[in-house]
Amino acid sequence: GDDWDVLVAHFLGVDHCGHRFGPDHPAMADKLTQMDGVIRSVIDRLQNDTLLVLMGDHGMTDTGDHGGESQKETDATLFLYSPSPIFPAPLSQKEPDVVPQTDLVPTLALLLGVPIPYSSVGQVLLPLFSPHGQTGSAVGGLSQLEALWINAKQVNRFLETYSSMAKDIPPESLSQLQQEFSRLSSEYL
């Protein structure tokens, strides 16, 4: 049926294949080809008001391990797709952007139309929002300015609460952040 809002699917085959054979083994190429077919099948069945988020939770070393802090272990793929034009324009670049994982939370929250979680300290990924106004899409649809403003208010609320309980933010840094938020508030409103 069509009575669901979120579907999470965790495909373990690539992970298991990587641990057993490593990333460069022919079995991994076969598994990735199989997953490509699954993803294409999902894309063919998406409704227009759907956002597909495909991401890995970690990378792997040349021997198929992870859990360390090398770039090969910490980098992972992020692929966003919707049949309707929810993003302002295709990103055309040779090398994909590297984004902090903390930035996924506010970005996905706003694209899915839910509040940014209270303790999130990430920054929305601006290229995924319209530079000039709403896209009219049922998914996302915020302008870059609207997304940044919602993000800034949420981080400010977190900082206010956190700084009242913990004293590890230097007072001069906190004061500077509060002044900047006040200035931005007066310009936005």
Number of domains observed in the structure of the chain:
2
Residue type, 93: Q
Q: Are residues 12 and 63 in the same domain?
A: yes
For residue 110, the enclosing domain spans: 91-189
Which H/E stretch holds residue 52? strand 52-55
DSSP 7-34: ------HHHHHHHHH-TTSHHHHHHHHH
Instruction: Report the C-alpha gap between 65 and 54 in whole angstroms.
Output: 21
Tell me how far apart the terminal alpha carbons of the chain are, to the nearest angstrom: 43
Q: Which of 83, 103, 135 is the last residue of a domain?
A: 83
Domain end call among 56, 83, 110: 83
Whether 51 has a pLDDT exceeding 60, the answer reads yes
- How confident is the model at residue 49, as a pLDDT? 81
Q: What is the pLDDT of residues 64-99, one digit of tens each?
A: 888 888 888 888 888 888 888 777 666 666 656 778
What percentage of residues in the chain have a pLDDT greater than 90?
A: 38
Full-model pTM? 0.74
**Residue 152: strand, helix, or coil:** helix
Tens digits of residue pLDDT in 126-169: 888 888 766 555 456 788 889 999 999 999 999 999 999 998 99
